[in-house]
Structure 1
Amino acid sequence: MSETSYPVRSVATTFRIVEALDEVGEAGITELSERTGVSNGSVHKHLNTLRSLGYVRKEGTRYSLSLRFLGLGNRVRERREVVRAARPAVESLASTAGAVTNLQVAEHGYGVYAYRATRGETDGNAPLPVVGERVPLHTTAGGKAILSRMDRAEVEEIVDTVGLPTRTDKTIDSRDELERELRSIRDRGLAFERGEHRPSVQCVAAPIAASDRPVGAISVSGSVDRMSGKKLEEDLAGLVVSAANEIELNLFRE
């Protein structure tokens, strides 16, 4: 979408600068201008405004985002009913599996990692997106699990908007392939990820529904070396389905 598509262009410019700072960590005015295509003077004005509001820090000539965003994100997350309902199950599954367990939700056609618990030995060979990061739904087990509970029109709308961007040579890149994969997930109630988002990561996920609508997915992730075969397809798969059922019961109680 071009900047002229936004009703308030100055707001779009502000968030282009914020997102650029998020990508690089810290930067000077000229670097941000080159990254965003916004003039030096305009970048400087937006940064000063963000700084006066407490959203940007400045050290010397370098700018970075402040921790005020952390407070906003945490409060937004805690207001999501599915996060509150899922937290105990996510923590319990991580302890039982001795692995990284994630809650993923869909927002604006993307999957967002909303909550994570880690137990046992951390797997440095299987780097995962950070909590709060959004990813194309078709690239992850959790995202595919969510898509599997949507009707065809919803899936088509997401694909029309987001596309089917590839992350690895194993990423699903056609509508027909995606439809076949979603049918398989519906049949077994489980989604698997085998190097589709990160080459070294494998994952199993189950959808979470409320009133027959997808509200998220719970997954267990790890490296190819530590998570494959029977462990992935049977042992962890059963645990993930049980955890998803527990979360749905918690949602019903709320």
Structure 2
Amino acid sequence: MSQKKNHRLLEITFDIMKYIAQKDEDVGFKEICETFEIPKSTVHNLLHTMTNMNFLEKNVDTARYTIGLKCFEVGNAYLALNPFYSRAKEVVESISLTCNETTHFAILDGNEVVYLYKFDSMQPLRIFSHIGKRIPAHATAIGKAILSGLTREQLLALYPETTLPAMTNNTITDRNILLEQLELIRKDGVSFECEESTPFIQCFGVPIFSKQNKPIAGMSISLPVIRGEKNKEEFIRLLREGKRELEAMLL
């Protein structure tokens, strides 16, 4: 059976929304035109429509765009109807309140992790991240935890190049080193990274597997490097307990 083609203009519309959603700052009209290489008139009409429908917000002073409230409403509707996600939120919150560090829940999308939930600690030093944020999976503990559940063939498909992009000076940029590290994570069941995605931040992570032994999500505890690793074993215990509880829900 031949694959059905998407409606090109609708596809571009969603691509623009995803592009803006992944940015940490607002995006200008010129950048969108150059990124998608489509006529200015088409971009103008799409942005105008998306803004009118509240999928995008336009800063009247700078004429730059950010993601709109309607995107949050649509995404939140999906999550609200997912009992597994609701329970994952509770587990992530419980872990954070117990260890007083920031916790995350994320899924893998391509070779990036997408944060679906975050619970901040009460500590004065906080972790800069937010729900919906995308980060290269190979640079994060939560991402490497999920990646550890993939086969070598799947990993090579995700990372066809031998050199990986760096987020900091500590990011693993050699695919072979990443593959070796993922093999160790498979054996131990816990991942770790120190300043690989964010300076001065270290993280511990665990994957969450379906009954078919497929990685579907991950959880992590993040904390400043300055607090050291004295509570490492407690962090790992909490993550493993949360992992067991969530995996028990899955059919």
Give the TM-score category using the shorter length: 0.7 to 0.9
TM-score under structure 2 normalisation? Answer: 0.84
- 1:166 maps onto 2:179 in alignment: no
Q: Greater helix share, 1 or 2? A: 1
Distance 1:154 1:30, change over 3 A: closer
Please name the residue that 1:149 is paired with: 149
1:25 corresponds to: 26
CA deviation map 1:193-218 (0-9, x unaligned): 11111121100111111212211111
How far does residue 155 in structure 1 lie from its aligned partner after superposition? 1.6
Q: Distance in 1 between matches of 2:215 and 2:53?
A: 37
Distance change >3 Å, CA 82–CA 168, structure 1 → 2: farther
Aligned-pair Cα RMSD in Å: 2.6
Secondary structure in 1 matching 2:204: strand
Aligned pairs for 1:29-68 within 5 A: 29-30=29-30, 32-33=32-33, 36-58=36-58, 60=60, 62-64=63-65, 65-68=67-70
Separation in 2 of the partners of 1:96 and 1:163?
39
Name the CA shift for 1:83/1:37 in 2 (closer, same or farther; >3 Å).
same
Q: State TM-score, norm by structure 1.
A: 0.83
Separation (CA, whole Å) in 1 of partners of 2:55 and 2:162? 29
In structure 1, what is the equivalent of residue 220 of structure 2?
219
- What secondary structure, in the 3-state scheme, does the structure 1 residue paired with 2:159 have? helix
Letter in 2 for 1:172: I
Distance in 2 of aligned mates of 1:9 and 1:219: 38
Partners of 1:163 and 1:77 in 2: how far apart? 35
Q: Which position in structure 2 is the counterpart of 1:196?
A: 196
Percent identity, aligned pairs only, is 27
Contact 1:145-1:207 at 8 Å conserved across structures: yes
- Cα gap change, 1:221 to 1:7, in 2 (>3 Å): same
* Count of residue pairs the alignment pairs up: 242
Tell me, which stretches of 5 or more residues in structure 1 are unaligned?
1-5
Instruction: Provide the rounded CA distance (Å) in 2 between the counterparts of 1:169 and 1:59.
Output: 35
1:177 corresponds in structure 2 to 177
- Shift in Å, 1:79: 4.2
| 1:58-207 matched pairs, under 5 angstroms | 58=58, 60=60, 62-64=63-65, 65-80=67-82, 82-124=84-126, 126-128=127-129, 130-160=130-160, 164-207=164-207
SS in 2 for 1:101: strand
